[in-house]
Amino acid sequence: MQLQDITNILNLQGIIVTNFIYGFENRICIEVEPIEYTQLCPCCKSVNIIRRGSAGIRRVKHLPIFQNEVILKVPKIRMSCNDCNTCFSWQYSFIDGKSRYTNEFKEFIATKIPGATVIHCAKTLKIPYSTVERIYKNYIDYVVPQLQEQVILESSNTNKLVLGMDDFAIRKGHTYNTGIHDLRNGTLLEIIPGRKLEELRSHKNVNTKLFELQPFAIVMDLAPYYHTFAREVYPDAIRIADRFHVNGYAMEALRGVRKRISSDLTPAARTLLKRNKSVLEKRNEYLTLKEIDILKQLLSLSSDLKAVYEWKEQLIVWYDCCSSIIQAENLFDKWCKQGHSLNIPEIERALITFENWKQEIINYHNCRYTNAAVEGRNGKIKAIQRRHYFTRNKHYYKGRILLECNNHFLTA
């Protein structure tokens, strides 16, 4: 291969390849030198420069070529300025001072870590752990502020913006964070420490651009502090109770009836009911023929169980089939009245929640969005926390989550 072709493959500005050596253990050594003879003075920008020879060779690691490790041999050229008497070395655009890795290789390292761990990346690339950690932290400091600004700008330019708000645990039952998501563009906009109303309010001055957005709707669960906060910062947005959280209350009523009637059943029937409880919770339209036969046996065990199962399925039909907000409101009222007429304690307890949050539940038919994507992103965050890298450092913990959750936006 001609040296000019190797120069083109490297695609590094201001240098040419002078020699090419294929070493042992899949290592390629490439000797390079600057195209120009001198450089401008970094202090006074003078062109009156004297070249005073070389102080040795720098060995710099670059991107691999055909799965071969690439080492660049870069000369340390000493120069001095006749105008200001400054002595300096040649400054290469593709490498920082005293660094042993090119800028392209550092970026390559940083893009290998999302979805993995630092120690795995260090072993794969045969680089010290501390070096990979330092490079990735510098990458987070540089990229994440720009990335967060871009995703918020994209949200501000989105027509009928829909936000999602949900919490995720750092330590289950003790410490939580709140994530604010753009459901239309599929991005994570911000992570707020805590989930209490005072903690949410205190964050309004931290990221003012986020709270200048004008969303059409906000999807969240039925936590009162989220609805109060959304009403304060986004007063014109409609608030939507997340469909799957609402379904959870009907499912809890079903589980409550199942547990209550179990004590009155024979041991064989009790075993059948407990073993096939997932059949009761599965959507009717997704049941197999075998599961349909099992379902018939289960519903024949108790009239209350049959009634609450049918009531639960009617809520799913209501979510899927209502074509307008007026129809949704009328059918929701009928569904609630039917629940009261059953005189089942578990349903009565669930209906208290449904009637208290009636408007937020019905608003789903104004904008059919759920927090399903948010829950998936929360799963990714939990995976990051299990890898336990940067978790204790709040700055890099937040930066890594924002980077990994918005990585597709960065690529685009």
Whose CA is closest to 185, among 153, 221, 214, 222? 153
Whether residues 237 and 377 fall in one domain? yes
Question: Residue 114 falls within a domain, yes or no?
Answer: no
Local structure of 189: helix, strand or coil:
strand
Question: Residue 322 falls within a domain, yes or no?
Answer: yes
The structure tokens listed for 168 are 């995720």
Whether residues 259 and 353 fall in one domain? yes
Whether residues 210 and 268 fall in one domain? no
Question: Quick one: what percent of the chain has pLDDT higher than 70?
Answer: 98
Whether residues 36 and 94 fall in one domain? yes
pLDDT of 246 strictly over 90: yes
**Cα distance between residue 378 and residue 170, in whole Å:** 11
pLDDT digits (tens, 9 = 90+) for 197-236: 999 999 988 888 999 999 999 999 999 999 999 999 999 9
Question: What's the length of the chain?
Answer: 412
pLDDT digits (tens, 9 = 90+) for 335-382: 999 999 999 999 999 999 999 999 999 999 999 999 999 999 999 998
Task: Give the CATH number for residue 182.
Answer: 3.30.420.10
Whether residues 404 and 318 fall in one domain? no
Buried b (16+ CB within 10 A) or exposed e, 35-71: eeeebebeeeeeeebeeeeeeeebebbbeeeeeebbb
SS3 content of the chain, % helix, strand, coil (to 5): 50, 20, 30
User: Which range of residues forms the domain containing residue 279?
Assistant: 243-365
Cβ neighbourhood burial of 302 (10 Å; 0-12, 13-18, 19+):
buried
Q: Where are the beta strands (DSSP E) in 136-203?
A: 162-171, 175-182, 187-193
Question: Residue 143 falls within a domain, yes or no?
Answer: no
Number of folded domains that form the chain: 3
| Residue 153's pLDDT band (cuts 50, 70, 90) | very high
**Cα distance between residue 72 and residue 288, in whole Å:** 63
**Cα distance between residue 391 and residue 9, in whole Å:** 39
Whether residues 229 and 273 fall in one domain? no
Question: Residue 119 falls within a domain, yes or no?
Answer: no
Question: Residue 132 falls within a domain, yes or no?
Answer: no
Whether residues 251 and 357 fall in one domain? yes
Question: Residue 407 falls within a domain, yes or no?
Answer: yes
pLDDT of 261 strictly over 90: yes
Supply the pTM of this predicted model: 0.83
Whether residues 77 and 39 fall in one domain? yes
Distances (CA, A) of 236 to 151, 161, 213, 217, 274: 22, 12, 11, 9, 47
| Residue 310 pLDDT | 96
Whether residues 361 and 252 fall in one domain? yes
Question: Residue 142 falls within a domain, yes or no?
Answer: no
Residue at which a domain ends, from 52, 77, 98: 98
Q: Mind giving me the DSSP string for 67-91?
A: TEEEEEEEEEEEEEETTT--EEEPP
**Cα distance between residue 332 and residue 314, in whole Å:** 10
pLDDT digits (tens, 9 = 90+) for 48-76: 889 888 888 999 999 888 888 899 999 99
